[in-house]
Structure formats: C-alpha cells, structure tokens
C-alpha cells in the first residue's frame, strides 16, 4: 500500500510526513488519477440526472487526488528538491490532460447543462444554485462547448501552458539559488546587526562566510543600509535580472510563448483577447474598468514619487555623487530620509518586532475579533522549521494552522497561503489544514521589519478566510472567490497591525520584554504612509504591464512591450517594476494572477472602506462589525457574487478615494 492513499491515523488527519518518501508520489498520483477517472466516467455514463448524482458526485470524485495534491504541491513550493521538481515537470501535462478530459466529456457536460436549463424546477437552495452555476461556467470556459479541431487545439494549448508555467517557476528558483555575493568584513561591519546575522545565516546554509542572497528579506535591508554603492548596484542588478540571465534558466522566450498561447486560448473560446476572457467572471468585468482604476491611482502616485526622487537625489549629491539617482540608491537614501524625518531607525525598531511577538499579536487579534484560540502542537511537519497550531472556538475544533516562516534554498520566493485540506460539509464535515509560507531571514531570534510584520498579518488574513469557511461545497470554500476579491480579507487584516493598542500590548523587546517606547510607536504609526509614492508606482507599473500584455494581440517581444508601456506611463527612472517580466511569477507561473495582478489594488479599495466600518463603530474590535465580516465575507467563500457579499457586509461600494487616503496620496490626486 502507498501511504499517501491510505487512511491517515494521525492527529487531525495531518499527512504522516515521516512515512512519506518522494518515490511514493508518482505512483500515488497515477492511482489517484485512475480512481478519479473511474468516478467521473461513472457519473457521466450513469443514470443520475439530479444535483446529488452529478454535481455532488463530482465534488467528491477526486478525493484521493485532492489529498495527494494537497501534500505534494505544498512541498514542491516550500521545500523543493530535484526529485520533486522533476515530478512537477512530469505532472504538469498529466494534470492538464486530466482536467481537459473532464471538461471535454460531452455526456457529463450535457448532464450539467440539463440541470442548469431545468434549475427552476429542482428546488435548489441558494448555495446549490450558485454551485451549479459555477460548475457550468467552469465547463464552458474550459471549452466544453467546442467541437472537433478547436476542442483538440484548446486541450493542446492548455497542456503546453501547464508545462511552461512549471518551467518558468523552476527557472526562477534556480536563478535565486545560484546567486550570492560574498560580504568582506568591512562591508559586513557597516551593516546593522540584524542584517549581519541574516548574512551569516545565509552563508551558513551555503557553507560559506557571510553572503547576500536574492531573498527579499535579506537583499532589501542590504539595499537599505549598505553605504557601498557599487555593492548595492551589483546586488540590485542581480535581483532584477532573475529569469533573464541567458542559458537554460532564461524566461524571456517562455513568457512570449505563454502570452501567445493565452491569446489563442481566449480566441478559441470566442473572446477578443485573454484579458477579456480572464476578467469576465471577476468584479472588474472588463479591461477598461481595470485600466481606469489603475490610472486613477497611477497619476497621484507618480507625482509623489517624482517629488520624492528629487529629494533623494539631493541627498545622493550631498554624499559626493554626481547623480542621477539610480534604482539601487532609492532604498538607501529613503531609509536615511525616514530616519531624519521620522526619527525612525529600522535597526532600533526590529528588536520589538520579533516573529514570536508578532505571532502573538496576530493570534490575539483573531481571538478578540472571532473568538479563535490557538494551541501549539507537535510535529513532525514537512520541514523542521514548520510550526503548527490547533485552532478552536468555544472548545470546538476549527482548523489546523501551519506556519513556515524562514527563507531557505528549497523554497520559492515570496509569501503565500495554501490549504492541504479545504473546508466542506458534503460527505461529512471536513475541517481545513491551512499553511502560511513566508521568506523571513532566519535569526535567533527572528526579528521582523515592519513590512515583514505586515506580510505576516496579510497571509494570516488569507488563512482566516480558509479557517472560518462554513459552506457545504468545497468548490466554493474559503478563498474560492473572484481573484479581485480574494485579497480583501488579507489586506484588511493588515489594518489591525496599525491599531496602537495591538502594538502597545505585543511589540516588546525580545531581550528585555520592555514595551516599545511610546514615542517610537507614535513615530512608527505616523510614518505609515512614508514612501508610498515609490511603493505604489512599482506595484501599479507591474499591474499595468500585466494588463497590456493580455489586451489586444500578444507581443512578439514582451521585453520591448514592457519598455514601451513604461515609457508611455512616464515611469520614474529611479524606480523599476516590482516584478519585471522574466521573474513575474504571479503572472507567468500559472494563470492565477494573469491579467489579474491589479486585484491587490481593486481589493485595497474595499479593505480601506471595510476597516472604516470598525472605525465608524468606534472600536477596532467591535463585535457586531466583526460578526458581519465573518458572516458575509470570511465564512461565505464563493457562495455569492463578490459584490453581493460586500454589499451585505457594508451596505455600499467604496470609491478609489479610500485607497488614496490610506496611502497618503489624496493630496496628490
């Protein structure tokens, strides 16, 4: 027997990681796929023509495959290896072929269509009707209505896209692993202690002396604090060159092929371009609506960034450099300016923001808002760095939450939330196993920047969306919502980090236990909108490039298209895109955020307004408002259209002004 396919007699049904070997995954996937195929064939060819026999049977048909996938893909992203990467490459076309096989099954689609056409006589609940609608939509958008050569071509296109997305992400990880820069003693000594510790820890992992790597939690503070301009340039250029270094790991041709295939996919399905196809089920609906939002944010952000650029260039010249200000200079001089204007020194701030302290703050907020309690549990988990908690409410089990917080060579960059198991009630109550993954620089203790702490809260907002889910069908569970709605819970949860009482209670010095001094806390919160011109410009530029890539005909040369779009925007020369094309994993490692990177800003319009509901109630932990938030947003999953859910919570839709105010850009608008 393969342990991945057996019933797991483990606490909370956690994967028995100590018993799972890499060589178990391939056979487990083969068997799980075979079982899923048999189950789906039985549904398609069977006599059932009701919701239970078709839709509900489909919900449960891939149970073994879901379980094996839940373990493997979490491992592949957070603790990769050559064997796991090889299997990912092998699985990409297999999984795509299986998906196409299901949606191309004409008998199955005919049953779903018959249910949809006769829906008014079925006596369905609102949730059942929603799930039926979404299944039909998924089949149609996957090409179920296509015939002959068009159907065959779409299957081939989707299979090739799956292969290319895997290759893109593995190339990026390879480039990130391969590069490091030794730090001579004099340059190491010029850095704050926490950066020195992170550089030593990174070197220990590589078996060398102190190094700078391409991990964001190390390279960003290096760029902030290193006075050696030539080393900053070297590190920065390596960071932005990921995926564009030539050779086998170069992603530029892959990006071009992905864009061309996406355009073909959209046209096969009857859409003008991929953006029109992708945005149809989202809140935004159209590329024009997205472009309008982004440009309304772009103009004031650019104006603020250009004003800031002039100030920073003056500081550069005062240091004896002729200028102009370069991208590898911005963070260094911005940090100096922040210290001068706000008397805020990140090196002095970080001892109050240890990972353990911020975890305590994060959990405490969810206890006060939703009554959740957290009890740390023992592993083993999939890596020694992973920690786990049982989540309960009034003594009842809610979820298992896993936190994997430290950077390592086997982990892809960035931060994300995933579920090894999602919530559902169909077939028996299934409670979720939710994973937050970050890439903080490891230390003893691990000290976070304020931006790191915000990332911690952000990903936990996604986790709450999964853990508090309360729906019957896994298809609409947790974060299974419109892409431009999925970031609302995560970005909203960041706001509780800004509540003074939260930091007063939890921001304590890791060595002495002393609370953060009141004047430091005030300066930290007063600086909340500092450098938002830069942060907004680098993000919105990436979102606009993503949108233009997928609108109209695909570019033969994405790098040229990127340059043209940025030139048309008047991109400040000292700021680069947050994610240049060759390492834009959100957009090219899969379809998740393709033509959808804007969704962070779309959700931000709502999250600023949603937190205002608590402010209007006079209490950041107002029980009635928290109850509405849980009922209509966090527990509802995709049970209704996103706009309907938000209107039930708030009573109105917000304007872009809330976003601009939250970023301190309203005066520049």
Q: Of residues 59, 282, 459, 487, which has the active-site annotation?
A: 459
Please indicate whether residue 309 is annotated as part of the active site.
no
Angle at 220 between CA 214 and CA 224, to 5 degrees: 140
Residue 204 CB partners (closer than 8 Å, separation 6+): none
In 3D, which of 374, 378, 389 has the Cα closest to residue 436?
A: 389
In our burial notation (b when 16+ CB lie closer than 10 A, e otherwise), range 299-316 reads bbbbbbbbebbeebbebb
Residue pair 586/635 in contact (Cβ under 8 Å)? The answer is: no
The number of CA neighbours under 13 Å toward the Cβ of 348 is 14
Distance CA 282, CA 618 (A): 33
Residue pair 247/175 in contact (Cβ under 8 Å)? The answer is: no
Residue pair 616/608 in contact (Cβ under 8 Å)? The answer is: no
640: left (phi over 0), alpha (psi -120 to 50) or beta: beta
Q: How large is the greatest C-alpha to C-alpha distance in the chain, in angstroms? A: 82
CA 105 to chain centre: 32
Distance CA 401, CA 56 (A): 28
Distance CA 433, CA 419 (A): 6
Distance CA 531, CA 572 (A): 14
Strand partners, 181: 212
CA distances from 71 to 25, 125, 173, 392, 397 (A): 9, 33, 20, 23, 21
Q: Do the strands 416-421 and 211-212 form a parallel or antiparallel pair, or are they unpaired?
A: unpaired
In our burial notation (b when 16+ CB lie closer than 10 A, e otherwise), range 559-576 reads eebbeebbeebebbebbb
User: Tokens in use for 650?
Assistant: 């708030």
CA 80 to chain centre: 18
Distance CA 110, CA 103 (A): 11
Residue 140 CB partners (closer than 8 Å, separation 6+): none
Residue pair 558/286 in contact (Cβ under 8 Å)? The answer is: no
User: Tokens in use for 213?
Assistant: 């790597």
- Give catalytic residue positions: 459
């Amino acid at each position: 027997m393969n342990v991945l396919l057996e019933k797991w007699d483990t606490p909370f049904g956690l994967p028995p990681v100590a018993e799972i070997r890499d060589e178990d995954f391939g056979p487990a996937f083969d068997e799980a796929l075979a079982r899923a195929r048999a189950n789906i064939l039985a549904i398609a060819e069977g006599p059932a023509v009701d919701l239970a026999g078709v839709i509900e049977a489909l919900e449960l048909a891939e149970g073994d495959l879901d379980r094996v996938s839940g373990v493997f893909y979490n491992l592949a992203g957070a603790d990769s290896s050559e064997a796991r990467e090889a299997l990912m490459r092998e699985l990409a076309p297999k999984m795509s072929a299986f998906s196409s096989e299901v949606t191309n099954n004409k008998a199955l689609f005919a049953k779903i269509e018959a249910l949809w056409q006769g829906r008014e006589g079925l006596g369905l609940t609102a949730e059942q009707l929603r799930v039926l609608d979404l299944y039909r939509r998924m089949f149609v958008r996957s090409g179920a209505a296509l015939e002959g050569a068009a159907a065959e071509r779409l299957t081939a296109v989707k299979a090739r896209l799956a292969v290319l997305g895997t290759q893109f992400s593995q190339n990026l990880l390879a480039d990130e692993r391969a590069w490091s820069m030794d730090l001579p003693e004099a340059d190491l000594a010029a850095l704050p202690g926490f950066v020195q510790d992170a550089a030593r820890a990174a070197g220990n992992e590589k078996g060398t002396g102190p190094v700078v790597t391409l991990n964001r939690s190390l390279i960003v503070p290096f760029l902030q604090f290193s006075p050696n301009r030539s080393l900053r340039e070297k590190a920065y250029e390596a960071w932005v060159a990921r995926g564009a270094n030539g050779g086998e790991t170069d992603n530029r041709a892959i990006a071009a092929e992905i864009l061309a295939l996406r355009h073909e996919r959209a046209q096969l399905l009857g859409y003008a371009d991929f953006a029109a196809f992708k945005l149809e089920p989202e809140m935004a609906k159209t590329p024009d609506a997205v472009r309008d939002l982004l440009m309304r944010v772009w103009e004031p952000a650019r104006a603020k960034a250009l004003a800031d650029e002039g100030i920073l260039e003056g500081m550069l010249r005062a240091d004896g450099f002729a200028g102009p200000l370069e991208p590898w200079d911005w963070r260094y001089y911005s940090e100096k300016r922040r210290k001068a204007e706000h008397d805020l020194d990140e090196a002095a701030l970080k001892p109050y923001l240890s990972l353990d302290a911020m975890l305590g703050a994060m959990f405490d907020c969810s206890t006060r808002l939703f009554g959740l309690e957290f009890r740390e549990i023992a592993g083993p988990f999939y890596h020694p760095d992973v920690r786990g908690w049982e989540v309960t409410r009034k003594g009842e089990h809610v979820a298992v939450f896993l936190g994997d917080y430290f950077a390592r060579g086997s982990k892809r960059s960035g931060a994300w939330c995933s579920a090894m198991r999602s919530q559902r009630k169909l077939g028996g109550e299934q409670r979720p196993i939710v994973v937050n993954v970050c890439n903080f620089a490891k230390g003893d203790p691990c000290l976070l920047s304020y931006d790191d702490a915000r990332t911690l809260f952000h990903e936990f907002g996604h986790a709450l969306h999964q853990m508090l889910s309360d729906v019957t069908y896994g298809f609409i569970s947790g974060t299974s919502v419109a892409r431009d709605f999925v970031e609302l819970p995560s970005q909203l949860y960041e706001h509780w980090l800004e509540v003074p009482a939260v930091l007063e209670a939890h921001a304590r010095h890791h060595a002495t236990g002393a609370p953060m001094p009141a004047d430091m806390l005030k300066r930290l919160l007063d600086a909340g909108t500092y450098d938002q011109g830069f942060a907004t410009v680098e993000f919105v530029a990436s979102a606009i490039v993503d949108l233009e890539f997928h609108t109209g005909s695909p570019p033969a040369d994405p790098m040229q298209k990127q340059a043209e779009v940025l030139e048309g925007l008047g991109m400040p020369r000292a700021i680069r895109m947050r994610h240049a094309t060759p390492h834009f994993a959100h957009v090219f490692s899969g379809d998740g955020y393709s033509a959808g990177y804007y969704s962070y800003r779309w959700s931000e319009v709502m999250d600023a307004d949603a937190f205002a509901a608590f402010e209007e109630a006079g209490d950041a932990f107002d029980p009635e408002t928290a109850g509405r938030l849980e009922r209509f947003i966090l527990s509802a999953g995709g049970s209704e259209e996103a706009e309907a859910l938000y209107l039930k919570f708030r009573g109105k839709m917000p304007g872009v002004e809330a976003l601009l105010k939250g970023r301190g850009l309203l005066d520049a608008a």
